[in-house]
Amino acid sequence: MTLRFATLVGKHERRTLERRILAFALGLCLIILTIFQYLDTNLSKYLEDEQLKEAQIERTLSLNLGNGQCEWTKPNDAPQDVPLFSTLLAAYPGSGKRTAFMQLEGLTELRAGDDYNLTPDSVGKKFAFMKSNYPQHEGIWSFGDKMNQVILLVRNPRWALPSYQHLLHEIEYSINWETSYARRQYVYTMRPPIEDWNVWREIRFDAEIKKWGWFMDYWMEGGLCRDIFTNDLTTPEHFERLIQPVMYAAAELLAEQQALGQVPPYVDGHCVHDMGSCTPVAIASFERIVDPMTGPAEVDRFVAAIEGKVGLSVIEEEARECVWRELIINGKGNTNTYRDRDGNGPAEDQYGFSLDQMNQIQAELGRLRNKYSSGIWTNSTIAQSLVGYLDEYIAENEEEIQAMS
């Protein structure tokens, strides 16, 4: 009897304990379920709020700290769902487009794109600024009708041509998008052996110095199509040959142009149908942008062309010189620049030209100077600015020629 009673008591205690464990488990499940329901209700909103905060932080302009002080911040993509006024930055290869567009990015905090979509995650996006070498064969008109105006950057061909060859060396003389994209991190990181420069110069110089002047004419004349070697007006069919990525032989192109005879003026269809006008609204020189005495004022030429445009916010005027200083003097920025080549190869002044080639450079600069300092161009502010730059280049090159003689 006593044993049976004890057994019954033991069973009762076990059942009580099991009920308590079951109740605890059910309660714990209820708590967990409540937590998940709370998270399901609030997590999405929380993440959206955090993403919005992050986006607001990233879209903040470089900070104006007052008294001419600032804090540079990295550029970001422009908003994709609102109207945006876009500017094309055109320059011959090796002319310092990266230095120029970094100034535009620093002032607006909007990332620049490029005509070959080598900027990461750029396919299909709208950009406030797009850089291009078009119509030189390294550039393409890939942006359709998305650009609203053109600003032109120039550099003395005495230095632009070597810098162009350095770029080609860094991307292993790529002629396809895949190789160029894979090598993009090497751009502005090294200079080639002098022997490589000498070979490239002897093969390419005659065509490239003519192309440099042809490039200037194209943009200054609003997309008027001319031949590279004669500077005569040309047909749209011949113009298409001139801009091909793989160049035709100079003799072949010259023969084609001579066979045309006189042709009427033809403006590139992109300038008529896509942009409306290819005439630059502003012009600046690489040399003046990087010069501490002239840099901020030179960048102001570009600022005047973008300030007040739809979708653009430019940092206050008192902080703009600080942004220039942060990028040029203090080396801020999220990409390599021309300075990153220093110490990685021979010094830049080792990449020279023969005396005959220097004289050819002077002849092309003189042709342009004479053209844009007379006739209808005397009333063009852009043309007279170009003439000023050309005068500086001619004088600088003449000093080198005198030292070579």
Two structure tokens written together for 46: 């929380």
| Cα distances (Å, whole numbers) of residue 119 to 38, 60, 84, 316, 373 | 41, 21, 19, 28, 38
CA distance 187 to 151: 23
Nearest CA to 149 among 283, 287, 267?
A: 283
Q: Are residues 45 and 92 in the same domain?
A: no
| Cα distances (Å, whole numbers) of residue 82 to 85, 126, 198, 282 | 10, 10, 50, 25
Cβ atoms of residues 86 and 104 within 8 Å: no
Confidence (pLDDT) at 185: 84
Q: Are residues 157 and 29 in the same domain?
A: no
State yes or no: cis peptide before 292, omega within 30 of 0: no
Q: Are residues 90 and 211 in the same domain?
A: yes
Cβ atoms of residues 335 and 98 within 8 Å: yes
Confidence (pLDDT) at 288: 98
Q: Are residues 46 and 170 in the same domain?
A: no
Confidence (pLDDT) at 149: 98
Most distant CA atoms of the chain, gap in Å: 130
Q: Are residues 51 and 71 in the same domain?
A: no
Number of domains in the chain: 2
- The answer to whether residue 250 is domain-embedded is no
User: From the CB of residue 61, how many other CB atoms can be counted at a distance below 10 Å?
Assistant: 19
Q: Are residues 300 and 210 in the same domain?
A: yes
Whole-number CA gyration radius for the chain: 31
Q: Are residues 96 and 13 in the same domain?
A: no
Cβ atoms of residues 269 and 254 within 8 Å: no
From 35, 58, 81, give the residue that closes a domain: 58
CA distance 382 to 380: 5
Q: Are residues 29 and 71 in the same domain?
A: no
Which stretches of the chain drop beneath a pLDDT of 70? 1-61, 120, 177, 247
Parallel, antiparallel or unpaired: strands 149-154 and 129-132 = unpaired
Confidence (pLDDT) at 125: 87
CA distance 147 to 17: 77
Residues of the domain holding 8: 1-58
- Which one-letter amino acid corresponds to residue 87? T
pTM of the full predicted structure?
0.82
CA distance 187 to 169: 9
Q: Are residues 78 and 202 in the same domain?
A: yes
- Which residues does residue 284 pair with via DSSP β-bridges, in sequence order? 153
CA distance 40 to 52: 19
- Which residues does residue 132 pair with via DSSP β-bridges, in sequence order? 90
DSSP state of 341: G
